[in-house]
Structure 1
Amino acid sequence: MKYGVVAFPSKKLQDLANSYRKRYDPHYSLITPHMTLKGVFEASDTEIEVLSNSIRNVVQRHKPFTLHATGVSSFAPTTNAIYFKVDKTEALINLHEDLHKESLGLKAEHTFVPHITIAQKMSSGEHDDIYAQLKMAGLNHDETIDRLHLLYQLEDGYWTVYETFRLTGAEN
């Protein structure tokens, strides 16, 4: 089964992201707006129990963190995805690194760029038009994230929460 670890932003930021996603993201109905902290990976029922315990240990070492969304950016030309930029703080970097240590397996596939996707899978022309429009929309949003979610993918492609973990630790 496929799994991933994410942080869900507040309803306010989700609503803003969804105002774009419903038009520009074909995954709009499959998953709630989120910031990925550990990308998609495969695990058996037995493996996920071990991984779940490892995630529980990680969140005990990390405090809630501030998510600061600061405008719009794009992964073009690599991929035609547009996203809300999230400041790459030391707390986020440390949490991301902890979620990719040996006990949790799988090194990160890409360089960690904290973000919330708002558009993807567009043609280059469509991407350029939409990106130019969205870049002009200002965004300066702060909120505290105090939990992570282990998600799994259902057979129909939808993602749902397997387990939720509170950030309760001492690190920043």
Structure 2
Amino acid sequence: MLYGIVVFPEKHVQDFANSWRRRHDPHYSAIPAHLTVREAEEWSDDELQGAVNHLEQITSVLPPFSIHLNRVSTFYPVNHVLYLALQDTVSMQKLHEQVCSGPLTIPEPPKYVFTPHLTIGQELPADELHDLYGNLRMQAIELSSRIDRVHLLYQTDNGSWTAYQSFLLRG
């Protein structure tokens, strides 16, 4: 089964992101607005249990933190993705490093450098991406959210994602 690890921002941030995702993200109906901590991967039952144990251990020492989203950016030309960018990525980077350690160490060099973000549009034609980015980067964005838990998700048979288990940050 395919599993991934994410954090969900507070509702007001999800609502803002969804106002764009609804039109520009083909995965809008499959998963709520989120920040990916570890990319999806196929796991056996034993790997899943190792991941759960690892997440329980690391979340017991990591404290909750806040994120501040302050602009729209893009991964163009590597990917046709528009996203809300974090003002300071240190807390998300630390979470990523802790999650991707021990039994969840990524076995080969990752395809992309970890860039914490909240996707608001993807799989866009280049022209549409440039038009949207040109308009959105002029908007003032000031969104903050408290992150107090990590979610282990799995992909269902219909392609949507649902929580397998959530882990409170208790440090």
**Residue identity opposite 1:6 in structure 2:** V
TM-score by length of 2: 0.94
Question: 2: CA distance between counterparts of 1:64 and 1:105?
Answer: 22
**Residue identity opposite 1:157 in structure 2:** G
Unaligned runs of 5+ in 1: none
Query: CA-to-partner distance for each residue in 1:59-85, whole Å, 9 max, x for gaps?
Result: 112100111111100000101100000
- Counterpart residue number, 1:142: 144
What aligned pairs does 1:128-139 form with structure 2 within 5 A after superposition?
128-139=130-141
Query: CA-to-partner distance for each residue in 1:105-141, whole Å, 9 max, x for gaps?
Result: 3254421111100000011111111111111221111
Unaligned runs of 5+ in 2: none
Secondary structure of 1:125's counterpart equals helix
Question: 1: CA distance between counterparts of 2:33 and 2:44?
Answer: 26
Residue 166 (structure 2) pairs with residue 157 (structure 1): no
Structure 1 pair 122–111 and aligned structure 2 pair: CA distance change class (3 A): same
Question: 2: CA distance between counterparts of 1:20 and 1:89?
Answer: 22
Query: CA-to-partner distance for each residue in 1:123-169, whole Å, 9 max, x for gaps?
Result: 11111111111112211112211001000001111000000000011
Question: 1: CA distance between counterparts of 2:81 and 2:146?
Answer: 25
**Number of residue pairs the alignment of both structures matches:** 169
Task: Name the Cα RMSD after superposition.
Answer: 1.2
**Residue identity opposite 1:141 in structure 2:** L
Secondary structure of 1:68's counterpart equals strand
Residue 59 (structure 2) pairs with residue 59 (structure 1): yes
**Residue identity opposite 2:164 in structure 1:** Y
Question: 2: CA distance between counterparts of 1:102 and 1:113?
Answer: 21
Match of 1:122 among 88, 101, 124: 124
- Counterpart residue number, 1:35: 35
Secondary structure of 2:137's counterpart equals helix
The 8 Å contact of residues 72 and 135 in structure 1, kept in 2 or not, is answered as: yes
